[in-house]
Structure 1
């Protein structure tokens, strides 16, 4: 098929949605499709339209549906769509969900968090990651620190400085260092991160890193903290699982839907002292750290490119089938 993918993230952006769009383009092209990734839609013809973001891509979705009522439409739901925009901007967000022939959810609990009437067109897709060449902690022997990485753009939804605040509560003897990689969302977040780095000797803000440097950061870390307040299914969790890197995560749907209800590394979302307690346990209890590493390693098979490609094709097929059934 001739497929158009629209994403709000511009070319060259390191935002997760751009990475997702380009990864899906590559996977679909491997399946024989022709795929274009755009940020603005002007009514061009295609065999299938795939939109990242129900709310941010609403105008494009409406234009496509009105211009090409007989063509299949797939909408991928982001964390902000599910946990903010369907309540804050219900007209636009729910319109996109309604007119889609298939919806993509990026974690296993999305069905519980969207209106029931849309669940029959939902396909769960776990974002994939390549298996890194270097195991987590492999390069950590050169330092006596216990490195904790936080990876992602610095913004409110990510609760990006929660690990830094938790590190302030560590006992003096703790070796924990929080290594934060990500671009500040705005001047406010840049100020917060800069001030935290100046005041907190356990916190280091590395700024936005290239992919190879992110992989190196994971290789020199003992665990990753995913502290988000809301998530649609963070790809960095997939990357950590594929790398065998233990994850400590806030207990939100977007994390539980990736790691499972029985995962041992959760803490109550937004709770600094609880996160500090889990980090202390990870540093001081080697059996606990081994348990988390074994759990993420067991989950790694869910996050392969082959599984993601299969789920993409499932979503496309569902959209085509539902679209054809709806034709007069």
Structure 2
């Protein structure tokens, strides 16, 4: 008996190496043992699948609309991955139509439920993303550098300027702010290059790196900073937490959904001085840093690959069984 087929319609493919691609790649692996799975920008590139998973309400609106029109009885899942949840569904007609069309909605953390219209929340499911755990790196008692890593392409939604500005405000001599990410906004690329020159080694911009290299860099960091203006459920938070690396996070809905309401490591979004103060405290206050580590360790079980796979397979099986 042939396997049922699934297409993951992703606005980003391998060359983008961004959050949407990482989600698509991981879900294809999770589903592959039970189904025939293809990742494509449009399901029409192959035979029509038995189930369509569309990533991003606005950017995948066209393939989702065509599939629902051509195969109205076949199930669809819409994954709200970030900018669509916190921006597009409130203003963009295509994104709003996607919410109505999809048979099921997936959010990457529970705080995002409040963004959905009330009548759509019943078809929403929360599936935390995951990453394999890495053995935490051993650090010297008095290291020469405490690397604070930011991972994210240079675009306004990630607010890299706050990270750059914090480099000029930290006071701990060992602090070094290291940024991994390619240029999507040329003006921000210019700003990164200028910051690297102006801070005499306090801020380093490494550009884009392969995912495996980035994960190893993250594993050896003192902390990870995420400065974003909006996030659906940042995979880089998961990769930090599952590597034993504490997170310093902008105080936004999506980050609270990942790290919890009582997490100690928040700073006001856009507040470079607030981020710098947390960096200094993480280096100078061992007890506070240990508390951050413990809070992250408590969240790590939410981000286990087996938990994500089980939740995803359960949703897909139910949709195909009841179709």
Per the TM alignment, residue 215 of structure 1 is displaced from its structure 2 partner at its CA by: 2.2
Who is 2:205 aligned against? Answer: 205
Does residue 96 of the first structure (1) align with residue 98 of the second (2)? Answer: yes
Alignment deviations for residues 155-178 of structure 1 (CA, whole Å, 9 cap, x no partner): 10011231221121123x532110
Which TM-score applies when normalising by structure 1?
0.92
Specify which of 81, 85, 100 is matched with residue 82 of structure 1: 85
1:1-328 matches, within 5 Å, as: 1-30=4-33, 32-42=34-44, 44-89=47-92, 91-133=93-135, 135-136=136-137, 138=138, 143-171=143-171, 173-201=172-200, 202-320=202-320, 324=323
Contact 1:225 1:249 (8 Å CA) reproduced: yes
Query: 1:200 & 1:258 partners in 2: Cα distance?
Result: 32
What is the CA–CA distance in structure 2 between the aligned matches of 1:280 and 1:143, rounded to whole Å? 15
Q: 1:157 to 1:140 in 2, by over 3 A?
A: farther
Structure 1 vs Structure 2 CA RMSD:
1.7
The alpha-carbon deviation at position 140 of structure 1 amounts to 5.8
SS of alignment partner, residue 42 of structure 1: helix
Could you tell me which runs of 5 or more consecutive residues in structure 2 were left unpaired when the two chains were aligned. Answer: none
**Normalised TM-score (structure 2):** 0.94
Q: Aligned to 1:178, what secondary structure does the other structure show?
A: strand
Question: Cα deviation per residue 1:4-51 (whole Å; 9 max; x = unaligned)?
Answer: 111011233211111110110000113x11101101232842110000
Q: Which segments of 5 or more consecutive residues in structure 1 lack a partner in the other structure?
A: none
For the residues of structure 1 that align with 2:149 and 2:142, how far apart are their CA atoms?
17
SS at match of 1:37: strand
Q: Give the Cα–Cα distance (whole angstroms) in 2 for the partners of residues 132 and 208 of structure 1.
A: 21
Distance in 2 (CA, whole Å) between partners of 1:276 and 1:142 is 20
Deviations 1:138-164 (A, max 9, x none): 256694111100011111001123122
- Do the aligned partners of 2:180 and 2:206 also contact (CA within 8 Å) in 1? yes
